[in-house]
């Protein structure tokens, strides 16, 4: 578990795919919040011209957890997705790196898959901030049809699956919900209200928001009434949360209890999966190049240490992170042997 004083510098964005999470993240960046998904790693597409803004480490971690349980982003179970003990250790390490990288700014943690396991993520970062991004289910379904050729019925079911744990989270902790369907002026006004509560300079210019990106139909009252009952009830409940003017940004989720790994569920398997996909170089520990030194390019831990020494940037934060990398590396090598 991360110390509460450090985790307060994290802002979790929780929301389904195609629900305005990228827009919310980009607006936070406009106010000086750090995003690990810098321009070198932003995944741009015609469906998301300004990039999906997803945190690469978090994204790949979530992908590995889903794959290990036999799922993928578009095919998930109607139940909570379990973590094992080492997942918490690795997720904590990933978040610690993001905090180090962002200093002295806050860091945004964004990946739609967080919505499938929000309690696990938030439990390791007590006192972190959390914002939920909401979009009309039919709009999301139509967007998924356009982007991924996913049938409307499947898109609606997927929307419900992603938001099933989001609703109780919002209700229990009174987390602010920002509706992507709001008219532009109202969206920015609500965003600035939340940003001010975070202690950010809410009066800065917001350049990222573009109303032209939210053009898919499906927000009319008749669209809501035509939704399947379970989806409609879930959406209306989240809509109520989005209209609340009093909210709590800081979340203190109770610590989660995870089962110990079996013989086939070792920490090294997770690390190996992350190593292969995290960066072009295929090295997991390249974090210490652009994370701690902000060089903008991946370098190994020892290269980072050498560069930090030359630049006079050796401090307690760097040393702690560097030693932790060695510590985890030794653990992994021991497990491999």
Q: How many domains does the chain have?
A: 2
Exposed e or buried b for every residue in 42-62, given b needs 16+ CB within 10 A?
A: beeeeebeebbbbbbbbbbbb
Question: pLDDT for 204-249, tens place per residue?
Answer: 999 999 988 776 655 666 689 999 999 999 999 999 999 999 999 8
- The predicted model gives 314-335 an average pLDDT of 55
* Single residue among 233, 251, 269 that ends a domain in this structure: 251
- Whether residue 268 is contained in a domain is answered as no
- The predicted model gives 187-210 an average pLDDT of 96
Q: Domain with 74 in it: what CATH number?
A: 3.40.50.300
The backbone torsions φ and ψ at residue 321, rounded to the nearest 5 degrees and listed phi first, read -65, -40
Instruction: Assess whether 245 and 287 both reside in one domain.
Output: no
Question: pLDDT for 35-83, tens place per residue?
Answer: 987 644 455 544 455 555 788 888 888 988 898 888 999 999 888 888 9
Instruction: Assess whether 144 and 23 both reside in one domain.
Output: yes
Instruction: Assess whether 72 and 194 both reside in one domain.
Output: yes
Task: Report the C-alpha gap between 205 and 208 in whole angstroms.
Answer: 9
Residue 276 confidence (pLDDT) above 80: no
Q: Which pLDDT value is given to residue 55?
A: 84
Mean pLDDT of the chain: 80
Instruction: Assess whether 67 and 26 both reside in one domain.
Output: yes
Instruction: Assess whether 224 and 301 both reside in one domain.
Output: no
The backbone torsions φ and ψ at residue 121, rounded to the nearest 5 degrees and listed phi first, read -60, -45
Instruction: Assess whether 165 and 305 both reside in one domain.
Output: no
Instruction: Assess whether 146 and 39 both reside in one domain.
Output: yes
Instruction: Assess whether 245 and 301 both reside in one domain.
Output: no
- Whether residue 266 is contained in a domain is answered as no
- Which of 121, 120, 119, 154 minimizes the C-alpha distance to 140? 154
Ranked by mean pLDDT, which of 88-97, 216-225, 282-291 comes out on top?
A: 88-97
CA dihedral 150, 151, 152, 157 (to 10 degrees): -70
Residue 286 sits in which domain range? Answer: 279-336
Q: Are 162 and 72 in contact (CB under 8 A)?
A: no
- Which of 160, 141, 161, 143 minimizes the C-alpha distance to 152? 141
């Amino acid at each position: 578990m991360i110390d509460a004083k450090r985790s307060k510098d994290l802002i979790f964005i929780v929301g389904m795919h195609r629900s305005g999470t990228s827009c919310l993240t980009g607006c936070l960046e406009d106010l000086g919040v750090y995003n690990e998904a810098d321009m070198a790693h932003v995944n741009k597409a015609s469906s998301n011209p300004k990039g999906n803004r997803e945190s690469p480490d978090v994204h790949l971690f979530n992908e590995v957890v889903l794959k290990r349980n036999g799922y993928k982003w578009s095919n998930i179970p109607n139940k909570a997705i379990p973590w094992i003990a080492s997942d918490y250790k690795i997720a904590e390490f990933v978040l610690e790196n993001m905090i180090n990288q962002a200093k002295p700014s806050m860091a945004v943690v964004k990946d739609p898959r967080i919505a499938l396991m929000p309690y696990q993520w938030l439990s390791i970062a007590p006192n972190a901030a959390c914002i939920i991004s909401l979009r009309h289910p039919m709009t999301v379904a139509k967007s998924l049809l356009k982007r991924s050729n996913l049938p409307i019925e499947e898109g609606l079911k997927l929307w419900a699956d992603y938001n099933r744990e989001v609703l109780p989270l919002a209700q229990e902790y009174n987390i602010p919900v920002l509706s992507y369907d709001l008219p532009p002026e109202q969206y920015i006004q609500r965003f600035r209200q939340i940003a001010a509560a975070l202690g950010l300079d809410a009066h800065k210019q917001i350049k990222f928001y573009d109303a032209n990106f939210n053009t898919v139909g499906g927000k009319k009252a008749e669209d809501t009434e035509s939704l399947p009952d379970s989806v409609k009830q879930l959406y209306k409940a989240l809509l109520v949360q989005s209209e609340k003017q009093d909210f709590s940004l800081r979340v203190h989720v109770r610590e989660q209890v995870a089962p110990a790994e079996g013989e086939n569920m070792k920490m090294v398997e997770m690390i190996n999966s992350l190593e292969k996909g995290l960066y072009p170089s295929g090295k997991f520990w390249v974090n210490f190049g652009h994370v701690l030194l902000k060089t903008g390019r991946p370098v190994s831990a020892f290269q980072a240490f050498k560069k930090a020494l030359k630049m006079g940037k050796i401090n307690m934060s760097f040393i702690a992170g560097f030693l932790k990398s060695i510590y985890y590396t030794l653990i992994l090598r021991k497990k491999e042997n």
